[in-house]
Amino acid sequence: MAKTAACEEFEAACVGAGLKPEIAFIGGGNMATALIEGFLKSGLVTQDSIFISVLTNESAAHWRKFGITTYTDNDELLDHHGQGLVFLAVKPHMLSTVALSIKRRLSRLKVTVSVLAGVRLSSLALCLAANDGTLCPLIRIMPNMPSAVGHGAAVLTASADCPQPMVELVTKLMQTVGTCDAIPESQMDAACALSGSGPAFVYSVIEAMSDGGVHAGLPRALATKLAAQTVMGAAHMVLTTEKHPGELKDMVCSPGGTTIAGIRALERGNLRSSLIEAVQAAAERSIQLGNLSQPATK
């Protein structure tokens, strides 16, 4: 297969950052799936430059169906493909176990990109230090599920020793599947709650709006389509007009009309307060996960 200009640009950026033009994933869950689907759809990479390690033979067979070179041994994955971008995409509580499984290879890694919710750079550094004390640069990202369709919202923070070309490479890679903003690590838990967990909150809103449409007499398929398109269009207006959401809301609310009657019902149901509390609860859980993932120290 002939390489696209985008592929060649990605390879050149990898070489410029001192990396092999490869992406290795440890973990093949929902977030890894979303990122891999998004990367492939973007045209920046092909199946030939993505590699993955998963726990079971069943999962490995699933990934091989899509032309992805797959391993069931993390150590073996990194032995062959640890000189490029290495994405750590497992559950936070699995960090210590995974780190032990790759201990022999840690000194050879060039950069590790963590997708682990709540796990701080300091915890990653303690777990991912090699036996001789060496530690590769670390980058934390918090992507979200819409990355699979090129409309993700990601944030990024990096260790102080991470070379700028590596940060720029990961930022550019994430921007092919949506947006990616650099933030201080102190804001990562809030971002995890808002954009990481946020799609689930929005899906709940879409489902409830669809239910309302069905209750009002619409067929289910049409109700869901109208609800989803309405949410997408409203979000696009917020991003493109740069008007405050409250101002855009007021533009729809005619005096004594249908929309303000609906807004009144939302206020009675505490929708705004519920969403605020949902983000706060998710942020607090992210902090808890970070505390739980801290390795024991002597």
Which residue numbers belong to the known binding site for NADP(+)?
26-31, 89-92
Q: Which of 139, 84, 140 is nearest to 110 (CA)?
A: 84
Q: What is the DSSP letter of 18?
A: T
Cβ neighbors of 226 (< 8 A, separation 6 or more) are 213, 218
- Give me the helix-helix angle, 271-292 and 258-268, nearest 10°: 50
* Residues that constitute the known binding site for NADPH: 74
Residue type, 246: G
* Residues that constitute the known binding site: 26-31, 74, 89-92
Residue 145 corresponds to which tokens in the numbers above? 């599920």
For 73-191, where are the alpha helices, taking DSSP H only? Answer: 74-81, 95-101, 121-128, 164-175, 188-191
Beta strands across the sheet bearing 23-26: 69-71, 50-53, 23-26, 85-88, 111-114, 138-142, 152-158, 178-182
